[in-house]
Structure 1
């Protein structure tokens, strides 16, 4: 197989970058992200202490599961390696297009080499590893008072991706089996913060790409990708039309377009006025 040319490689990596931008804009437009303060709070895994006559309680407030599930669906292509929008492909695209480039002044710092900047961005994205078994905020372990037996300790990352790939977008039986003793509630409890952090990371990276484009450092990236519609805002479709009716079984005309603009469908068709 012939090696791709530089032009072909540029086209491939540009496609990756465009796919990421379009998907990231859908993430930014999600209803959950509009409450950024809530997204940040949930992502930090904040707990508060409440005390009542029954004792002391740790309370963690999360968004409704359906809302988080919807956000996870929009985020999914960014963490699935087979997708063009995968964050790793986006990072490789930036590495290609910014090779040898010194970035302008960044907020809070002097000009920096692009490779060092992209290295930091890659490190931040490395948290979102579907196969990672390291805890991001906490680990869980269950036990039975009856016999003192305890389960293996599971990282929140394992539980979170079990919810994403087992309960939501796929049906990964192996992930569900491993986390079965904790149930869907504990999987969701771990997933909601991860989804929030992933939303923040995605939008932050989108802003980085916009900044690079604004400074002319990504000349191949068409500006239209930041403007074209990526979500459906109006779900009532109202179009002016001409409607014709005919008895059931009447042959449909091949086309209603003629050289004059509109073709009469035939005598069996009655126009609805």
Structure 2
């Protein structure tokens, strides 16, 4: 099988990605990502809450995924709810480790106050390669997130008073260097492809979701689809996922930093494997 697909791409090539940040005004951070016909909007809201009992000196992330019925007819009724739960659970798995986001930086006062980041994912249109597009949008939105700086004032009696800075530039930024992106590898015949279109997904009986950091470290994997994958295929797909994932991260980081330095909100990103 040649390294050539219907749209002219090689097996490890992404399509151009349209990344736009700071698109929702009443959030702490937001991003919109268009990948082919897939359109994802992510908003992050930072709200003060109480740390979890088992992690008293950390904040945490909560994910909610809304599959708009306008995105595809399949989301009518229960279909969208089931997919939304599946995506949210995948995101929890990706972020359920100490290295993705520095959760200790979200702690205000141990056991008493912390920042909770509510990450809302809205699927506006679905045109293939959903998980990759969502992970790119989540990383871009977290990069765009600004959390107000907090000062904890303690009086003589020991009671604490929390003071939020009202200066929009006096804020905390999250380091997204270790936030992974998902690379979905669809097995078609004897080969596997990245950034599959809807038509390519229809030809694939099994796919491997690989969560990869910017250094090429795999943080988790998940097989989707009814077909089976042999160990040799899984190993090859993992190696491709690492290789492509590193390029994906580099391109995204470059574009996010460039966008911020130029003060523009929208960039097109070309990803090539």
Fold-level match, TM-score > 0.5?
no
Q: Which structure is larger by alpha-carbon Rg, 1 or 2? A: 1
Shorter-chain TM band: under 0.3
Give TM-score, length-normalised by structure 2: 0.25
